[in-house]
Amino acid sequence: MKKVIKTDKAPAAIGPYSQAIEVNGVVYTSGIIPVVPSTGEIPEGSVAQAKQAFENLSNLLDAAGCTMNDVVKTTVFIKEMNDFAKINEVYATFFEGDFPSRSCVEVARLPKDVMLEIEAIAIKNA
């Protein structure tokens, strides 16, 4: 059975999609961008944007009954591959123990012209 996951502690969907969907204990998130949910503002710089995006992801997973440690796969879309090392440092701080598998892709443009977007797949109680 499909369950829609929604929280006001992560950016609202800006189109015809859900923030996340859970099916059989697996949570699939949509792309999360670094928008401050309470204000709609976007932090300056790739490090601040990475922190905000991962906080948003963590909040969305919390709404689904998961933690970052339940994540088994991430996909990170970045606007500038030169920011890879900085984003990697932030990424590492959001996980304890084993890291999930990951893909990282440089893209030409992201919604609201942000520097990165992240999506994840988590297994409840992984």
- Of 70, 123, 111, nearest in space to 94 by CA: 70
Task: Tell me the pLDDT tens digit for each residue of 35-91.
Answer: 999 999 999 999 999 999 999 999 999 999 999 999 999 999 999 999 999 999 999
Q: What is the mean pLDDT of the chain?
A: 96
Place of tokens 């109680």: 125
At 26 the pLDDT is 98
Catalytic entry in 48, 63, 104, 121? 104
Whether 66 is catalytic? no
pLDDT band, residue 97 (cuts 50/70/90): confident
Q: Is 20 helix (H, G, I), strand (E, B) or coil?
A: strand
Domains assigned to the chain:
2-123 (3.30.1330.40)
| pTM of the predicted structure, to 2 decimals | 0.96
Q: Examine the pLDDT at 100 and tell me if it is beyond 90.
A: yes
- The CA distance from 61 to 72, in Å, is 12
**Burial of residue 59, with CB atoms counted within 10 A of its CB: 0-12 exposed, 13-18 middle, 19 or more buried:** middle
